[in-house]
Structure 1
Amino acid sequence: MGSIGTPPNPENGSASTSPPPASNCDGDERKPQQATIGMPPNAETTPPTETEASKKRKASILPLEVGTRVMCRWRDCKYHPVKVIERRRMHFGGPNDYEYYVHYTEFNRRLDEWVKLEQLDLNSVETVVDEKVEDKVTSLKMTRHQKRKIDETHVEVPLDAYEICRNIGLVLGYWRSDAGHEELDAASLREHEEFTKVKNIATIELGRYEIETWYFSPFPPEYNDSLKLYFCEFCLNFMKRKEQLQRHMKKCDLKHPPGDEIYRSGTLSMFEVDGKKNKVYGQNLCYLAKLFLDHKTLYYDVDLFLFYILCECDDRGCHMVGYFSKEKHSEESYNLACILTLPPYQRKGYGKFLIAFSYELSKKEGKVGTPERPLSDLGLLSYRGYWTRVLLDILKKHKGNISIKELSDMTAIKAEDILTTLQSLELIQYRKGQHVICADPKVLDRHLKAAGRGGLEVDVSKLIWTPYKEQG
């Protein structure tokens, strides 16, 4: 599942979500007694004495190998454990002058970044390189004729990386959670992971926002040398330079996503975009979305999908805040395949709104729906919250007996999702060959409070939509 306006997903068992906001690292906020290797020598930053043994040790470990673990000073001025994922030689510098792409092991991969040597505490270096990384690098050297260029000012994604992404479905594709690699052999999967481990685009400009990206996205090879891309917020065409975008905006006639406006309530609007009728837009949306989705991928032609683009509208136009998409025809009753709220618009209830909207479409179709499986942990958490709020609200108000099938008919939620949700809340028991819902009002109130607010509500009276199968 995509990002739904919730905090980064912690890794390695850490209870934290992300380091504190960036701040100025001057003054006494630095970690005490940290080495300041690579900084200009002066009385304030360089220790008065350093043993020859220490100097020799530091010289012997440079440049750091891929897989090295070390402490790194982040933007909060504190040191955090990192793992070196990649390295590149500085354009002007000596043989050991590198920048390092690091993963903060306490936090989500979206915080991975390039850092300079002076941010690393070389006294904390763990000299044993991760065996798995070492084995992977060795195997890749043996299986590829073209060595990846890691010693340039910009890390280049070579053409064979683009072809690999194309062959396994990254290019012009569609992103699902933790699925789609079953057909790949181990070597292909290793190669895919190798080429997608480093963010290729650092920032994008979209409308009035400059947004730091989170993950790799397989843009065409001609964009390999670009650290920043400029997107037209209406047609989603992307360019390398600001002046190109400015020229484009003078000629672009769109002031909203292409397709049909199917919902308008106040300043919120929803557009339905047919991937077959608007192929370039669908492809560009996939490129954009992959910058913020860290999921294993499966290729599907955008022709097979409908995209639902949520916008905030003003006198300048309709500005995309997020989207979800669904297959035009799903034998598994999937009513949502991918979902994303763009970072500047997260924590405003838009993710919950998108989930609720997908179920309102299912009701209009006269079908039950469910998100595409398998769900990520974050996706399951978001959906479980939605299912809990909807189901318990009905149970609180309903008098008399009610069956799971009746709940499904009322909500368009698949019976299996209702059953697992109520079981997780310990509100269902199995008696005399059937499931029985046992709900005390106080227990319902407690669970509803734990589920949190429902976000923005969908005003069904403002939804004007014809299901795809009925369109001419």
Structure 2
Amino acid sequence: MHPVSINDLKLGETYFVRRRGSEVLHHALLMQDRVDMNTGRKQFYVHYDGCDRRLDEWIDSERIYMDCASQVESSTKPTRIRKRRLEEDYDLLSAQGPEDFNESKILEKEHEQVTKVKHIEWIRYGCYKIYTWYFSPYPDDFGKASNLFVCDYCMKYMKYERSYRTHLHECKMRKPPGIEIYKHKDLAIYEVHGDENKIYCQCLCLLAKLFLDHKTLYFDVEPFVFYVLCQVDTDGSHMVGFFSKENGNLDGNNLACICILPPFQRCGYGKLLIQLSYELTKREGKFGSPEKPLSDLGRISYISYWSWVLIEALRKSNMVIISELSKQSGIDPKDIIDAICDLKLMQYWNGEDVLYITPKILEECRKLRIIKEPRLILRARSLRFGYFKIIVLLTIDAIFFRITPIIFDLVVVFTDC
């Protein structure tokens, strides 16, 4: 194995690449090249075989190596990622008719082509240097810059550190626009309406897209309300994450998008916002569900939260009716069923679908890694309503036709046997 001359590198070929911060070599596909504006050196954009796109990065040629055997093999056999894409294309073609296939395939390919290369490698956000995960459609030359500087108060973005430093001295904002609806210790949550604070919300969405793969809301923010979570110190309120919710959504979605910036993940902030989304839903007298499909990290958080709510309800009572648990928690009954199935607890008993759980099974469930009590518990009494815009829509109330009877008949039985 030996380094490759920059003149011998070919786009679309697979090489061994040394990843950032590691001496281990990985198979990677060369996707695009460019000349770095700061150094004037040629760089290559690589996708690591078998890894999520969030790990894609721009690298110098010194980190690329050639293995002679792999070169011969790669010319005759498809790489794993190419083989997987071919299999996925075949599965999609088999599952859909010609019209559905063509339309969905075109949209999928368009999204892939537009977002496959991320130009922005890292951002400066407050005191953090954050490496990005995905492409984000920042306008003009901002989207082609290798790095951006983002104000953690107003979300304004800049290409140059000098402009950023000047902006920090001139920026008058010390908290998000909108209404503070929750405050506990050093955390605050603000309700921000997209139609009243369009620029702020657009900047928020562009920032979030750097860490979300399939987010499509960038500029059409008017129909949405944003709930912005902040860490509060003596300088002001610094945004660490948010979720958005569409006004007047007819599909029962209580959350459209959720994002916690990487430096603030694993602090319990995601589940705190999930709790808030359900608390707002309960106060509206409804139950709700996040917009599907969920990202991989989003699904893990939601399944963990749904499972925790279910297990806690079982711990406190010897019988739990799914429809009642839905009213108490604001969780869509279908999502509770998903949690039950994910835990593999569904049984058929006496003509009904039930959960038949002993104290031993319950204790084993509570020990599962996925079922964790949230690090931060939302204090519902500290929640203050902002205001909701009433949207009057004339429509057929078909909600009861969308819920299968079995969900409301499902009973959870807990015995001492």
Shift of residue 469 of structure 1?
4.1
Q: Quote the residue 1:79 is aligned against.
A: 25
Deviates more, 1:186-195 or 1:344-353: 186-195
Shift of residue 349 of structure 1?
1.3
* In the alignment, structure 1 residue 326 sits paired with structure 2 residue 270: no
Distance 2:166 2:35 in 1: 35
- The alignment-based identity, stated in percent, is 40
Distance 1:366 1:444 in 2: 30
Structure 2 counterpart of 1:217, one-letter code:
S
Distance 1:426 1:131 in 2: 37
Q: Which secondary structure does the structure 2 equivalent of 1:198 belong to?
A: coil
Q: Which secondary structure does the structure 2 equivalent of 1:297 belong to?
A: coil
Q: Deviations over 1:210-237 (max 9, x none)?
A: 2111111111123245222111111111
Q: Quote the residue 1:236 is aligned against.
A: 155
In structure 2, relative to structure 1, the CA distance for the partners of 1:299 and 1:99 (3 Å cut) is closer
8 A Cα contact 1:388 1:448, kept in partner: no
In structure 2, relative to structure 1, the CA distance for the partners of 1:382 and 1:183 (3 Å cut) is farther
Give the alignment's Cα RMSD to 1 decimal. 2.9
Q: Quote the residue 1:425 is aligned against.
A: 343
Q: Quote the residue 2:357 is aligned against.
A: 439
Q: Which secondary structure does the structure 1 equivalent of 2:175 belong to?
A: coil
Distance 1:366 1:354 in 2: 19
Gaps of 5+ in 2: 83-99, 392-417
Q: Deviations over 1:181-236 (max 9, x none)?
A: 99956556434422321111111111111211111111112324522211111111
Distance 1:183 1:260 in 2: 45
Shift of residue 102 of structure 1?
0.8
The residue correspondences of 1:161-200 to structure 2 (distance < 5 A) are 184=103, 186=105, 189-200=108-119
Structure 2 counterpart of 1:365, one-letter code:
E
The residue correspondences of 1:94-105 to structure 2 (distance < 5 A) are 98-105=42-49
Greater helix share, structure number = 2
Q: Quote the residue 1:119 is aligned against.
A: 63
* In the alignment, structure 1 residue 344 sits paired with structure 2 residue 263: yes
The residue correspondences of 1:220-259 to structure 2 (distance < 5 A) are 220-259=139-178
Q: Quote the residue 1:273 is aligned against.
A: 192
Distance 1:90 1:253 in 2: 34
8 A Cα contact 1:276 1:302, kept in partner: yes
Shift of residue 65 of structure 1?
2.2
Q: Deviations over 1:345-391 (max 9, x none)?
A: 11111112111121111122121011111223432222111011011
In structure 2, relative to structure 1, the CA distance for the partners of 1:426 and 1:386 (3 Å cut) is same
In structure 2, relative to structure 1, the CA distance for the partners of 1:393 and 1:299 (3 Å cut) is same
Structure 1 counterpart of 2:44, one-letter code:
Y
Shift of residue 417 of structure 1?
1.2
TM-score between both structures, scaled by the size of structure 2: 0.80
Structure 1 counterpart of 2:380, one-letter code:
V
8 A Cα contact 1:87 1:100, kept in partner: yes
Q: Quote the residue 2:410 is aligned against.
A: none
Identify which of structures 1 and 2 has the higher relative contact order when contacts are C-alpha pairs closer than 8 Å and 6+ apart. Answer: 1
* In the alignment, structure 1 residue 211 sits paired with structure 2 residue 130: yes
Distance 1:36 1:381 in 2: 40
- Number of equivalences: 367
8 A Cα contact 2:191 2:386, kept in partner: no
TM-score between both structures, scaled by the size of structure 1: 0.71
In structure 2, relative to structure 1, the CA distance for the partners of 1:270 and 1:422 (3 Å cut) is same
In structure 2, relative to structure 1, the CA distance for the partners of 1:436 and 1:345 (3 Å cut) is same
Q: Deviations over 1:230-288 (max 9, x none)?
A: 11111111112222223323332210111110000000110111001100011001110
8 A Cα contact 1:274 1:306, kept in partner: yes
Q: Quote the residue 2:382 is aligned against.
A: 462
Distance 2:132 2:388 in 1: 33
In structure 2, relative to structure 1, the CA distance for the partners of 1:312 and 1:337 (3 Å cut) is same
Distance 2:172 2:244 in 1: 25
8 A Cα contact 1:101 1:112, kept in partner: yes
Distance 1:320 1:198 in 2: 27
Q: Which secondary structure does the structure 2 equivalent of 1:438 belong to?
A: strand
Distance 2:188 2:45 in 1: 40
